[in-house]
Structure 1
Amino acid sequence: MTAGARTRARIVFLIRVPQARREEFLAAYEKIRYAVANGVPGHLRDQVCRSADDPERWLITSEWRELRDFLAWEASPDHRELVRPMRECITEASSLRFTVVAETAARTPV
């Protein structure tokens, strides 16, 4: 890594959403995702995934240009207000923050 180079960040949320709140959770995520993707500095992409083994276990990952972009967004009043409807559906949550050290992608055939 060269001096001044940016290090992307990956944020992982492991959550539990009761089946009775699944549709409400997905509707709240749908409202949030484009607002974040189109308006939050440093946000690159995100995914929401449901466990193949436990329908109440979910994973949300997001990728950021830099960890400080995510931390600034997370600390903002806009963040808390925007994600409140989604968080109201969640009964358990934990989060992890990582910086990307190396990445491998499939090559496109020539």
Structure 2
Amino acid sequence: MSSPARIVFLIRVAVDRQADFLAAYERIRYAVADGVPGHLRDQVCQSSTDPESWLITSEWQSLDDFVAWEATAAHRDLVAPMRACFTEARSLRFLVRAETTVRAETTALPPLGSPT
């Protein structure tokens, strides 16, 4: 069984291009979410200290799913308007090895050092 994957894009977008960037992201995200096999979710985030620094993350069922999508002409065409807004871009690919989720029911843990 293959591991889920997280793709990280560290990008810079000039302040005067940010409206175009966000509009392009809006067009892309629903097209990907509704029709690309293996895509689970994504986020776009802006730095709280550097308004030109952005982060896009996407989660995939497997790295193979992302690589297959990235290799298509449809991918290149869809992301071209967004990429045109970048002044810098770097991408990283990670395999998810562990994950923490919110517990359905929270129980109080005993203080450290006390018997369980």
TM-score bin (small chain): over 0.9
| Aligned amino acid, residue 44 of structure 1 | L
Say whether 1:79 aligns with 2:60.
Answer: no
Which residue of structure 1 lines up, in the alignment, with residue 36 of structure 2? 40
44, 55, 59: which one pairs with 1:59? 55
1:27-83 CA-to-partner distances (Å, cap 9, x unmatched) read 000000000000000000000000000000000000000000000000100000000
Q: Normalised by the size of structure 2, how large is the TM-score?
A: 0.89
CA–CA separation in structure 1 for the residues paired with 2:66 and 2:105: 34
Q: Is the aligned partner of 1:91 residue 2:63? A: no
Structure 1 CA distance for aligned equivalents of residues 20 and 92 of structure 2: 24
Could you tell me which runs of 5 or more consecutive residues in structure 1 were left unpaired when the two chains were aligned: none
Residue segments in structure 2 that go unaligned for 5+ positions in a row: 107-116
Cα offset for 1:105?
1.2
Which residue of the partner structure matches residue 24 of structure 2? 28
> With structure 1 as the length reference, what TM-score do the two structures score?
0.94
User: Percent identity of the aligned residues?
Assistant: 67
Write the distance in 2 (CA, Å) between the matches of 1:81 and 1:95.
18
Greater gyration radius: 2
Instruction: Return the alpha-carbon distance in structure 1 between the equivalents of residues 61 and 101 of structure 2.
Output: 18
Structure 1 residue runs of 4 or more that deviate by more than 2 Å after TM superposition? none
